[in-house]
Structure 1
Amino acid sequence: MKAWFEEHFQEDYLKVYDHRDEAKAAGELQSLMSYMPMRKGMKAVDLCCGNGRHARWLGRKGIDVTGIDLSPALLKKAIDLTNDLPVQYRRADIRTVELKQEFEAAFNVFTSFGYFLEDEENELVFQKAADALIPGGWFLFDYLNPAYVRENLVPFDESERDGMTVLQERRAGQDYVEKKITIRENGTERRYVERVKLYEQHQLRQMLQRYDLEPVYFFGDYSAAEYDNSRSPRQIFICRKKGEESFQ
C-alpha cells in the first residue's frame, strides 16, 4: 500500500493547488533571502521541491539549483515550466537520496516535512540537508506553527473550478493535522488524505542541532516577522551548518 504522499502528489494535486504559483513563491522567499548570502553561481539544493516554483525563483536570481522530489507528476510540471534557468531536477526519495557535500545553501520550504509516521524518518530531511551542505552553508527550513493551526483551522470548505468540485475537511490532533480531500468530476469521485505530523519549536531545534544545523534566525512568517507562538502562522528557521566558514 502506497503512503499518502505517493498517492496524492499527482495530477489532481496540481489542479487543487494551482493557486500556488510563481508570484506566491516570490512572496514566500523575497524577505527571508535577505538574511542569507546570495550570489550568482552559488549552488543550492531544494529538498522536496514539488513543481519547482521556489527552485525557479532562485534560478532567476542566478543560483544553480538542484530540485529533488519523489513525484513524477510534479517533476514533469517543474521541467515543463523551467526554461533557460540554471535549475535541474532529480527524482528521489528524500529518505534515501545520496547527496554530496557540495552545496552552499539548502531549502525545505512550504511544509515539505512531517509526512512520515516516525520522527526518525522525518529527521532524515535534516540529515540530508547537512549531508548536502559544505561547512558554513545555509539551510532555510519553513514549517507550520501547531498552535496557530489548531486555533485557525477551517474544518470544511467547498470550491468549484473548471467543472470540478473540491471538498476539503480538516482536523488537528495533538501531534498531527489531517486533511481529507474529495474531488467530484464528470460523475466520478476521488478521495485523498494529507496527514502531517506537528512539531513544536523546541523539538525542531533539537532535531536541527543533532545534524550540526545551528539556528541563526527564527521568524514567524514570510515577511520575516518576529515569532509569536499564538499568532505566527509559520516556524521559519535559517540555520548554518557548523564548520569553518567557506563563503560569505
Structure 2
Amino acid sequence: MSLKRNHQIKNMTETSSTWYTSWFDTPFYHILYKDRDYSEAQDFMTNLTEYLNMPEHGTIMDLACGKGRHSVFLNTLGYNVLGVDLSQNSINYAKQFENETLKFEVHNMCEPYDGEFDAVFNLFTSFGYFDKEEDNLNTIKAIHKNLNEYGFGVIDFMNTEYVIAHLVPEEVKVVEDISFHLKRRVENDFIIKDINFTSDGKDYHFQERVKALSLKHFEHLFEKAGVYLLDIFGDYKLNKFKNKTSERLIMIFK
C-alpha cells in the first residue's frame, strides 16, 4: 500500500456515526465495488432519459455521484451534467472528466443546490444513510427545490422487501488480493453490512447502514415534502415494480 493510501485512511478504522463520510472516502470502497456493471448502468441512463423525454442539451444533477460514472455517461448523451457528492476524494477523482458541459462539486444532499435542473437523479441506493428521518425528508425537499417547472426527480433505491428476503448473512469477497469479510443483518429498521479486512498487515473495519425504506415509507416522505409520485419501476429496464420480486425501487416524481 502506498503512503498516500495510508494517509487517506488513518483514523478511519472505527465505525463512525456518519459512516459514509469515512467509508466512501477510502480507496477500499472503490476496490470492493469495482465490478459494478457499467453496461447495465448505461442502459438504465438511456432508458430513463428516453422515458422522461429529456430536452436536447437538458440539465441534470447527479446527486451523490460518487466518482461520476453515471454523470460521465449522461454527458456523452448530450446533457449538461453537474455531479455532486459529499466525498472530496470522489469529486477530486471525477474532476478529471470535466468539460464545458460536465462539472463536479462537493455538496451535501440534505441541502438545496443553488440552481434548477430538468432532472435530479439520485442513483444506486444513494439515499437512506441518515440516522435522522428529517435528513431523508430534507433531501427530498432539496431535490424538489432544485427542479425547474418541468423537471423530474428520480430516486433509484433498493427494494428492501426483496433485499431482506434474499439477504446473504455472511460471505468473503476477494478483490485485488484483499479478502473482504462481509456480514449483513437487519437491525432497528436499518440494513447493515459490516466490512472487515486486512491490508498490508493492518486490520480495518467499516460499516454500511441504509434505512430499510419501503415504498410506503417513501410515499409518506413524498407527501410531507409536497412531492407528487408519478411512476414506479422495478428494474433498470423500467419494468413495473412488484413488491416481492423487483430488485429495485425506482421512483419518478415532481
Q: TM-score, normalised by structure 1?
A: 0.89
Indicate which of 198, 209, 217 corresponds to 1:184.
198
CA contact (8 A) 1:221 1:236 kept: yes
**Alpha-carbon displacement from aligned partner over 1:195-226 (angstroms, at most 9, x marks no partner):** 00111112202322433432221111111111
Q: Does 1:175 align with 2:189?
A: yes
* CA distance in structure 2 between the partners assigned to 1:212 and 1:62 by the alignment: 31
Once the two structures are TM-superposed, the CA of residue 121 in structure 1 deviates from its matched residue by 0.6
Q: How does 1:8-157 map to 2 (within 5 A)?
A: 8-10=23-25, 11-20=27-36, 22-80=38-96, 82=97, 84=99, 86-100=101-115, 102-157=116-171
Q: What letter matches 2:155 in structure 1?
A: F
CA contact (8 A) 1:47 1:68 kept: yes
Once the two structures are TM-superposed, the CA of residue 182 in structure 1 deviates from its matched residue by 1.2
* CA distance in structure 2 between the partners assigned to 1:85 and 1:98 by the alignment: 19
CA contact (8 A) 2:137 2:225 kept: no
Give SS of 1:229's match.
coil
* CA distance in structure 1 between the partners assigned to 2:35 and 2:44 by the alignment: 14
* CA distance in structure 1 between the partners assigned to 2:108 and 2:98 by the alignment: 25
- Stretch of structure 1 that moved more, 71-80 or 192-201: 71-80
**Alpha-carbon displacement from aligned partner over 1:38-90 (angstroms, at most 9, x marks no partner):** 2332111111111111111211111101111010121122223x254721011
CA contact (8 A) 1:21 1:53 kept: no
Percent identity of equivalent pairs: 29
* CA distance in structure 2 between the partners assigned to 1:99 and 1:112 by the alignment: 21
Indicate which of 150, 171, 179 corresponds to 1:165.
179
CA contact (8 A) 2:54 2:118 kept: no
Any unmatched runs of 5+ in structure 1?
242-248
* CA distance in structure 1 between the partners assigned to 2:98 and 2:35 by the alignment: 21
Equivalences, count: 238
Q: How does 1:197-208 map to 2 (within 5 A)?
A: 197-208=211-222
* CA distance in structure 2 between the partners assigned to 1:149 and 1:21 by the alignment: 18
* CA distance in structure 1 between the partners assigned to 2:193 and 2:44 by the alignment: 22
**Alpha-carbon displacement from aligned partner over 1:167-192 (angstroms, at most 9, x marks no partner):** 11111236210001112222111110
Give SS of 2:219's match.
helix
Indicate which of 219, 237, 248 corresponds to 2:251.
237
Any unmatched runs of 5+ in structure 2?
1-15
Q: TM-score, normalised by structure 2?
A: 0.87
- Stretch of structure 1 that moved more, 14-23 or 139-148: 14-23
CA contact (8 A) 1:99 1:131 kept: no
Indicate which of 236, 245, 252 corresponds to 1:222.
236
Q: What letter matches 1:233 in structure 2?
A: E
**Alpha-carbon displacement from aligned partner over 1:97-120 (angstroms, at most 9, x marks no partner):** 5433x2111111111100001111
CA contact (8 A) 1:59 1:85 kept: no
CA contact (8 A) 1:99 1:128 kept: no
- Stretch of structure 1 that moved more, 30-39 or 227-236: 30-39
Give SS of 1:25's match.
helix
Aligned partner of 2:5 in structure 1 is: none
Q: What letter matches 2:35 in structure 1?
A: H
Q: Does 1:211 align with 2:193?
A: no
**4+ residue runs over 6 A deviation:** none
- Stretch of structure 1 that moved more, 108-117 or 2-11: 2-11
